[in-house]
């Protein structure tokens, strides 16, 4: 099926359909087969349905949704929104500032060029920022997060995650559970936000350029609690010691 110059609506049938929107702001909807949809130069909406579909936005600020099935979504040029749905999907943003959501199952996300938001959401996802200043979120599951060439923010979330900062001055939050963090090149900050975060292994950490930041935990002046916590104490320039307490109080905070 081939759309014309205007804003077209193309709907697939029971078989494996091929839909090309052409020019204009088009809406392409798959159905029961393994469908191929390509939007064109304008702001298009592409929606997969039941099976393994391929959706390509091309130019314009497009919206792509995979729904059921193991789909492949490619935003192309423009600031696109990609939503994988329930299958094990591959989502590629392309150029532009994209928003990419894996949703359910084990998805693979790649931002490409531009300043992107990549959110794996449920299950164990592979999230790669690519070029640009990206924000990578793992959330549930044991995720793999890989930053790109510029200053990225990586947040593993709830699972036993692996996080790689890459090049650039990155901010890395392992989240809950024991994560494996590799800072990479640049001046990076590894951030802990709550008591109970930690048990992490940090690699490629340089005390000359990188930091570990606990300020979100130890915020404020003068605080007491009967919750247990661990205190880090410097031994040498490249080592620390931790002490455990059942009762803790402090009057000032400091970023390491």
Tell me which H or E stretch contains 35: none
Quick one: 202 and 245 in the same domain?
yes
Q: Is residue 164 part of a domain?
A: yes
- The pLDDT score that the predictor gives to residue 198 is 67
Q: Quick one: pLDDT at residue 226?
A: 47
d(CA 2, CA 90): 25
In a domain, 75, yes or no: yes
Which pLDDT score, from 0 to 100, does residue 5 have? Answer: 87
For the purposes of burial, counting CB atoms within 10 Å of the CB of 15, is it exposed (0-12), middle (13-18) or buried (19 or more)? exposed
Q: How confident is the model at residue 208, as a pLDDT?
A: 87
> Does some domain include residue 139?
no
Q: What is the structure's pLDDT at 223? A: 44
Question: What's the pLDDT at 158?
Answer: 87
Q: Same structural domain for residues 73 and 174?
A: no
Is residue 217, in this structure, part of any structural domain at all? yes
Query: Do 80 and 190 belong to one domain?
Result: no
Domain membership flag for residue 163? yes
Helix (H, G, I), strand (E, B) or coil at 236: strand
Q: Is there a single domain that holds both residue 119 and residue 21? A: yes
* Each residue's pLDDT expressed in tens, for the chain with a length of 256 residues: 999 889 999 999 999 999 999 999 999 999 999 999 999 999 999 999 999 999 999 999 999 999 999 999 999 999 999 999 999 999 999 999 999 999 989 999 999 999 999 999 989 999 999 999 999 999 889 999 999 999 999 999 988 999 999 999 999 999 888 899 999 999 999 999 877 676 899 999 998 899 999 877 765 544 444 444 444 444 444 444 444 444 444 444 444 4
Note whether residue 137 is domain-resident: no
The rounded distance, in Å, linking the Cα atoms of 173 and 180 is: 11
Looking at the structure, do residues 94 and 185 belong to the same domain, yes or no? no
- Residue 194: the pLDDT is 77
Q: Does residue 134 sit in helix, strand or coil?
A: coil
Residue partners of 236: CB distance under 8 A and separation at least 6: none
The number of domains in the chain is 2
Same domain, 166 and 246: yes
Q: What SS3 state is found at 26?
A: coil
81 and 2, same structural domain? Answer: yes
Model pLDDT, residue 177: 84
- What is the structure's pLDDT at 196? 67
Judgement on whether residues 172 and 73 belong to the same structural domain of the protein: no
Containing structural domain, residue 100:
1-123
Domain final residue pick, 107, 123, 139: 123
- Please enumerate in sequence order all residues whose Cβ is within 8 A of that of 227, keeping only pairs 6 or more positions apart, or say none: 195, 248
pTM for the full predicted model = 0.83
Q: Confirm if 216 and 192 have CB atoms less than 8 A apart.
A: yes
- Judge whether 194 and 217 are in contact, CB under 8 Å: yes
Evaluate whether residue 144 is within a structural domain.
Answer: no
Cα–Cα distance for residue pair 107/92, rounded to 1 Å = 11
Any domain includes 142: no
Between CA 78 and CA 41 the distance in angstroms is 9
Same domain, 169 and 118: no
Q: Based on the domain organization, do 7 and 99 belong to the same domain?
A: yes
For the chain, how many residues are written? Answer: 256
With beta carbons less than 8 A apart as the criterion, state whether 28 and 10 touch: yes
Supply the pLDDT for residue 243: 44
What does the longest C-alpha to C-alpha distance in the chain come to?
72
6 and 118 in a single domain? The answer is yes
Q: What are the φ and ψ backbone dihedral angles of 146, each rounded to 5 degrees?
A: -130, 115
Same domain, 165 and 210: yes
């Amino acid at each position: 099926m081939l759309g014309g110059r205007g804003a077209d609506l193309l709907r697939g049938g029971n078989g494996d359909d091929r839909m090309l929107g052409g020019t204009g702001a088009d809406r392409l909807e798959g159905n029961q087969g393994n469908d191929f949809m390509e939007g064109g130069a304008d702001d298009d909406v592409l929606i997969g349905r039941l099976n393994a579909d391929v959706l390509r936005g091309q130019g314009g600020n497009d919206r792509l949704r995979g729904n059921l099935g193991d789909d492949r979504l490619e935003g192309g040029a423009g600031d696109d929104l990609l939503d994988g749905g329930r299958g094990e999907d591959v989502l590629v943003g392309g150029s532009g500032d994209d928003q990419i959501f894996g949703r359910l199952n084990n998805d693979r996300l790649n931002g490409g060029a531009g300043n992107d938001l990549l959110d794996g959401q449920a299950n164990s996802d592979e999230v790669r920022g690519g070029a640009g200043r990206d924000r990578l979120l793992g959330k549930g599951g044991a995720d793999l997060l890989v930053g790109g060439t510029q200053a990225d923010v990586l947040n593993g979330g709830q699972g036993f995650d692996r996080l790689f900062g890459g090049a650039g001055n990155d901010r890395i939050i392992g989240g809950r559970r024991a994560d494996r963090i590799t800072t990479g090149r640049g001046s990076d900050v590894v951030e802990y936000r709550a008591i109970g975060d930690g048990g992490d292994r940090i690699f490629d950490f340089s005390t000359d350029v990188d930091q570990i930041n606990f300020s979100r935990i130890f915020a404020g002046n003068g605080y007491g609690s009967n919750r247990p916590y661990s205190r880090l104490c410097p031994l040498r320039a490249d080592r620390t010691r931790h002490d455990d307490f059942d009762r803790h109080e402090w009057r000032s905070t400091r970023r390491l």
